[in-house]
């Protein structure tokens, strides 16, 4: 079981580094971001030595010395593939296998890493992983869509990735609840969010503003001859919006707030199993209740997440979220009070 844990942890470390290629991390930084216990420090150090040794540092590089020693992605082009939710490592292990063929910039290193991790597993666990992979392979990337769609989707993603790499605009036929429209888009980034794929774009009519397209709604896509000038500030803004969850909702200026929620003890298993955000921390109080704190945007995603725990959660702050839940309770009362 220990070897399997090592493999999962290695994938976490690797994916975080290639998803943030412009940042460097010490061992302590990585442990804090991925919420790895202090007792695992030596294991993390061994994992990072392993990643650095892959293909003579072609994937993960190091710099500095002593306390300033740090690790960083050596694959600069990998910054267009984001994993804002990396809680379930085993699913993402399979997910990496699934996307390797459609993401040229990282396919070689993904396969190399997965092969090495597989070799560290005992035969029984390698077989179990293969069974999980077979069961989830057609479901994770496209949420259960049949294989014939997946083949078509792979071609679309390759076109979009090429456009991002070459800074070329794309002509996209996109379906909304109201209509299907065909227009030119400026693609900046591929976003994997809660097992859905989105294309992050910059607005042509409002330069500097960004939005996302849900990949499954793209009917067709083709490269145009028109190029665009990439703005690093726009890329960073989009990245911030993704990490706060506001990109999916369309909020242009996300503002993280201090969130505090008290949960009944019965919710602990589910909170540990699927945390809302990587900044989320769970503290057990003397009376047995759970104090959950995090710094996120108090948006629709958070609101609906709290509602899923409606019978066991009490929001302390922010007040805006408390007020919204209060208003909703009034709606429920007026709707269901007369039976």
Question: How far out from the chain centre does Cα 7 lie?
Answer: 19
210 three-class SS? strand
Average pLDDT over residues 219-236: 90
CA 143 – CA 126 distance, rounded (Å): 24
**Least confident stretch, 72-81, 276-285, 297-306:** 72-81
Segment 257-261 mean pLDDT: 92
Percent of the chain with pLDDT over 90: 20
Q: How many CA atoms within 13 Å lie on the side-chain side of 207? A: 6
Integer Cα distance of 22 and 82 in angstroms: 13
Q: Of 278, 242, 280, which Cα lies nearest the Cα of 260? A: 280
Q: How many CB atoms lie within 10 A of CB 313?
A: 19
Classify residue 25 by its DSSP letter. B
Residue 81: is its pLDDT beyond 80?
no
Q: Is the dihedral of CA 173, 153, 148, 214 positive or negative?
A: negative
Higher pLDDT, 212 or 195: 212
* pLDDT tier at 247, thresholds 50, 70, 90: low
Domain locations in the chain as residue ranges: 2-136, 147-249, 257-336
Q: In this structure, what are the phi and psi dihedrals at residue 279, rounded to the nearest 5 degrees?
A: -85, -5
Confidence of residue 39 (pLDDT cuts 50, 70, 90): confident
Rounded to whole angstroms, how far apart are CA atoms 73 and 295?
26
Could you report the per-residue pLDDT of 288-297, keeping only the tens digit for each?
A: 999 999 988 8
Q: Quote the pLDDT of residue 138.
A: 41
- The 10s digit of each residue's pLDDT in 168-180 is 999 999 998 888 9
Strands 81-82 and 180-193, by their bridges, are parallel
* pLDDT per position as a tens digit, 6-24: 656 776 787 778 777 778 8
Mean pLDDT lowest among 105-109, 115-119, 155-159: 105-109
d(CA 63, CA 24): 9
pLDDT at residue number 103: 43
Q: How confident is the model at residue 240 (pLDDT cuts 50, 70, 90)?
A: confident
pLDDT at 106: 46
Model confidence at 230, pLDDT cuts 50, 70, 90, reads: confident
End-to-end CA distance of the chain: 53
- Give pLDDT, residue 251: 54
Fold of 257-336: Alpha-Beta Plaits (3.30.70)
- Average the pLDDT over 189-202 and give the result: 77
Tell me: the pLDDT tens digits for 127-148? 655 655 554 444 333 333 333 3
3-state SS record for 146-190: CHHHHHHHHHHHHHHHHHHHHCEEEEEEEECCCCEEEEEEEEEEE
DSSP letters of 55-110?
A: GGGTSEEEE--GGG-EEEES-GGGGGEE-S----HHHHHHHHHHHHTT-TTTHHHH
- Using alpha carbons, list the distances in angstroms from residue 292 to 263, 267, 295: 7, 11, 11
Give 153's pLDDT tier (boundaries 50, 70, 90). Answer: low
Check whether 212 has a pLDDT greater than 80. Answer: yes
Indicate the CATH number of 147-249 among 2.30.30, 1.20.1630, 3.30.420, 3.30.70.
Answer: 2.30.30
Most confident region among 77-91, 132-146, 205-219 by mean pLDDT: 205-219
- pLDDT for residue 105: 44
**DSSP at 257:** E
Question: How many residues does the structure list for the chain?
Answer: 339
Phi, psi torsion values for 331, nearest 5 degrees: -65, -45
pLDDT at 210: 87
Chain mean pLDDT for the chain: 75
Residue in 81, 21, 70, 82 with CA at minimum distance from that of residue 45? 70
Q: Out of 32-36, 192-196, 215-219, 323-327, which region has the weakest mean confidence (pLDDT)?
A: 192-196
Does pTM surpass 0.85? no
């Amino acid at each position: 079981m220990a070897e399997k844990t090592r493999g999962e942890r290695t994938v976490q470390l690797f994916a975080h580094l290639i998803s943030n290629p412009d940042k460097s991390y010490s061992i302590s930084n990585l442990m804090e971001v991925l919420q790895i216990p202090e007792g695992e420090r030596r294991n993390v150090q061994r994992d990072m030595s392993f990643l650095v040794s892959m293909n003579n540092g072609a994937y993960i590089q190091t710099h500095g010395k002593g306390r300033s020693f740090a690790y960083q992605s050596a694959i600069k082009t990998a910054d267009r593939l984001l994993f804002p939710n990396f809680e379930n490592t085993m699913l993402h292990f399979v997910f990496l296998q699934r996307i390797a063929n459609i993401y040229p910039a990282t396919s070689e290193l993904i396969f190399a890493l997965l092969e090495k991790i597989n070799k560290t597993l005992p035969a029984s666990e390698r077989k179990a992983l293969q069974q999980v992979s077979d069961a989830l392979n057609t479901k994770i990337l496209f949420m259960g869509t049949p294989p014939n769609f997946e083949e078509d989707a792979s071609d679309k993603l390759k076109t979009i990735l090429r456009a991002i790499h070459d800074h070329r605009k794309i002509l996209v036929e996109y379906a909304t609840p109201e209509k299907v429209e065909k227009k030119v888009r400026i693609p900046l980034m591929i976003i994997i969010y809660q097992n859905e794929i989105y294309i992050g774009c910059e607005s042509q009519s409002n330069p500097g503003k960004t939005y996302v397209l849900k990949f499954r709604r793209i009917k067709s896509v083709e490269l145009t001859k028109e190029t665009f000038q990439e703005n690093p500030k726009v890329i960073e803004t989009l990245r911030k919006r993704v990490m706060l969850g506001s990109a999916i909702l369309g909020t242009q200026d996300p503002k993280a707030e201090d969130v505090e929620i008290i949960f009944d003890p019965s919710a602990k298993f589910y909170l540990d199993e699927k945390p809302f955000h990587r900044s989320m921390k769970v503290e057990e109080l003397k009376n047995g209740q759970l104090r959950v704190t995090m710094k996120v945007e108090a948006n629709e995603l958070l609101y609906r997440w709290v509602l899923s725990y409606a019978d066991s959660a009490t929001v302390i702050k922010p007040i805006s979220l408390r007020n919204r839940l209060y208003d909703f309770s009034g709606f429920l009362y007026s709707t269901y009070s007369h039976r």
